[in-house]
Structure 1
Amino acid sequence: MDQQLEVFLSVVDNKNFSRAADELHMTQPAVSQYIRTLEEKLGVRLLERTNKYVRTNKAGEIVYHHAKEIVGLYTKMGSLLDDLTNQVKGPLSIGASYTFGEYVLPHLIAKMKKQYPDIQPKVTIGNTVKIAELVKSHQIDIGIIEGPLKKEKQIEIRDFAEDHMVIISSLTHPLVRKNGEVTITDLEDEAWIMREEGSGTREAGESVFKQLHISPKNIMTFGSTQAIKEAVEAGLGISILSQLAVQKEIKHGNLKIVEFPGLPYIRKFSFITNSPFQTKALQEFITLLGTRGTVPLVPLEIPEN
């Protein structure tokens, strides 16, 4: 890989020449020279520099975006060549939406590392939209997403498991005392605590609203599932989350599932890839997900500790 691009990415990511030099085990003058050479080669200035910050200009943003993609493809090429030795090893970059990434993926990676200790997983957690973009730009090998994704020519999408979405509340919430006699009006009048737009969990929640024919009057947006659980437990409102995300809280008596006809809502987990070539590490990870295109969808469960 062109070392000038590697240095440029490090400077942008660190927003500082000195920190980039430390990361690359180089001197600061050497880093500055690499950047100057790259700018001369491209014929355009890429960075705005002051004593307080270093940041990309418009040209720098373009180069940064494509440099990330080039690095991703270069890493994948090296891994594929390493696979010629028939060993399952090397880097494996996985992206996952929050529910799967926080509550299921760590258990899968632990299992995989026991069998293949030379695999080097790198995990990125983000909402469905972000993970799909990283797969499309070759910055990660595989993405695991919640819910549907618009089909694109270069992206392969495969469903592999089911997820059950439930309404949750605090133990002392008035809906709990209704003993299964919750009405649509009750749900519409409640304060709902939801994930942000672009999240698969938010999209599933919107689907539930349509399915149950309810139009909530008060929706608050939180940027993480953990924050939502804390808010619900504190009595701030109710929410709809994956049963995977609240499994431990339900078991320990911190949260309660609100029963309502038509629930739980079932959505699919899918994985997406963007290459006709797959490293052995990626192939084994897909096998671990439990699919070769022939295994039926099954509900996921978190292993007991």
Structure 2
Amino acid sequence: MNTFLTVCDTMNYRKAAELLHITQPAVTQHIQFLEKEYQCHLFLYENRRLVKTEAASVLEQYARAMRYNESSIRQELRKSSVRELKVGATKTIGDYVILDQIHHYLADPDHALTLIVDNTEHLLWLLEENQLDFAVVEGFFDKRAFESRCIRKEPFVGICRKGHPFAGRNITVEELLNETIIHREEGSGTRAILEQKLRGYNESLNQFRRHICISSFKLILELVKAGLGVSFVYKVLAESAPELDTFSIQGEAIVREFNLIWLKNAHVQDKIDSFFTAGTIPSLPDDLL
């Protein structure tokens, strides 16, 4: 199974063999064993490119969950008095939303926590590599690969400094394109949402007069406060800085889900409950839920 998952990660028998420190024929033998055991093909070549079959995609879900569950069993059998959670959160959520949950969870001296705050893309990879128990993200993810639960819906708004011509307005996309846009790096949920909104107008980040890519929300806020550009963030973050004002783009308002996600078939419900029953996620009005 470990060989199978390594081939899924690399989609290359030679690279899988190098990572596993075994020969390429041994990798082939492992895959053939699984194909014989489950009576299905797992990988095929299309135009000399290795591709997964539908059966391989199903098996991959179960194999990743099985690896996670096996690790959890080992941890449980050690009978440690301290319970450690490995939680991932995207930057808005990690820095501005789940602080109460962290405080309440760590108030128990028998609780330990590893919190990884990163972009959505990297957190999904960490989940698949069994390095997280669960994550809370605001970006897009494959619902076929992960179980999920919406815990909150949050407006996505434009921000500018106080006194800016955009402040409090509903602007056109043409007005926006004449500004300097400050945005997150590739792989971040907020950048993906902004790019999706722009595609609705047949525009892209490259159409801006100037664009600046910053991976830190703290620095983005400081640059916007200084009048060096405008940006787009979740309302909870915009409200954290009184020196800023908000604006919107004409058209349908953007509201996105904050989702709790974990591997399909992974036994994590008790861990989720131990973290989220410790405090409450702030909720928006019912008309946004």
Give the TM interval when normalised to the shorter protein: 0.5 to 0.7
Mean CA deviation greater in 164-173 or 179-188: 179-188
Displacement of 1:121 in angstroms is 1.1
Contact kept, 8 Å, 2:172 with 2:250, in 1: the verdict is no
Kindly indicate whether residue 175 of structure 2 is the aligned counterpart of residue 186 of structure 1.
yes
Cα distance in 1, alignment partners of residues 174 and 239 from structure 2: 27
SS of equivalent to 1:187: helix
Aligned to 1:170: 161
Displacement of 1:175 in angstroms is 2.4
SS of equivalent to 1:236: coil
Aligned to 2:190: 201
Displacement of 1:265 in angstroms is 1.2
Aligned pair in 2 of structure 1 residues 184, 90: CA closer, same or farther (>3 Å)? Answer: same
Cα distance in 2, alignment partners of residues 163 and 231 from structure 1: 23
Displacement of 1:209 in angstroms is 2.2
Q: How does 1:102-141 map to 2 (within 5 A)?
A: 102-114=95-107, 116-141=108-133
**Cα offsets for 1:81-108 (capped at 9, x unmatched):** 478x9x9x50001011111011112221
Aligned with residue 233 of structure 1, among 214, 225, 232: 225
**Cα offsets for 1:104-125 (capped at 9, x unmatched):** 12221112233x4411111011
Cα distance in 2, alignment partners of residues 212 and 188 from structure 1: 11
Displacement of 1:170 in angstroms is 0.9
Aligned with residue 90 of structure 2, among 97, 100, 104: 97
Contact kept, 8 Å, 1:80 with 1:279, in 2: the verdict is no
Kindly indicate whether residue 149 of structure 2 is the aligned counterpart of residue 158 of structure 1.
yes
Question: Larger strand proportion, structure 1 or 2?
Answer: 2
Aligned to 1:210: 199
SS of equivalent to 1:123: strand
> For residue 128 of structure 2, what is the amino acid of its counterpart?
K
- The two structures, once aligned, show a CA RMSD in angstroms of 3.4
Cα distance in 1, alignment partners of residues 105 and 77 from structure 2: 21
Kindly indicate whether residue 285 of structure 2 is the aligned counterpart of residue 285 of structure 1.
no
Cα distance in 2, alignment partners of residues 185 and 136 from structure 1: 41
Aligned pair in 2 of structure 1 residues 82, 243: CA closer, same or farther (>3 Å)? Answer: farther
Displacement of 1:233 in angstroms is 0.8
Aligned pair in 2 of structure 1 residues 81, 135: CA closer, same or farther (>3 Å)? Answer: same
Cα distance in 2, alignment partners of residues 74 and 124 from structure 1: 22
Kindly indicate whether residue 145 of structure 2 is the aligned counterpart of residue 149 of structure 1.
no
Displacement of 1:207 in angstroms is 2.5
Aligned with residue 269 of structure 1, among 258, 269, 286: 258
Q: How does 1:7-26 map to 2 (within 5 A)?
A: none
Contact kept, 8 Å, 1:79 with 1:90, in 2: the verdict is no
Contact kept, 8 Å, 2:100 with 2:280, in 1: the verdict is no
Displacement of 1:75 in angstroms is 5.6
**Cα offsets for 1:161-200 (capped at 9, x unmatched):** 1121110001132323xx6363332112111100011000
TM-score if structure 1 supplies the norm length? 0.62
Mean CA deviation greater in 182-191 or 236-245: 182-191
> For residue 234 of structure 1, what is the amino acid of its counterpart?
A
- The gaps in structure 1 that reach 5 residues or longer are 1-41, 45-68, 292-296, 301-305
**Cα offsets for 1:131-177 (capped at 9, x unmatched):** 01111110111111113212344x3233221121110001132323x
Contact kept, 8 Å, 2:170 with 2:250, in 1: the verdict is no
> For residue 76 of structure 2, what is the amino acid of its counterpart?
L
Contact kept, 8 Å, 2:66 with 2:266, in 1: the verdict is no
> For residue 104 of structure 1, what is the amino acid of its counterpart?
V
Identity %: 25
TM-score if structure 2 supplies the norm length? 0.65
SS of equivalent to 2:240: helix
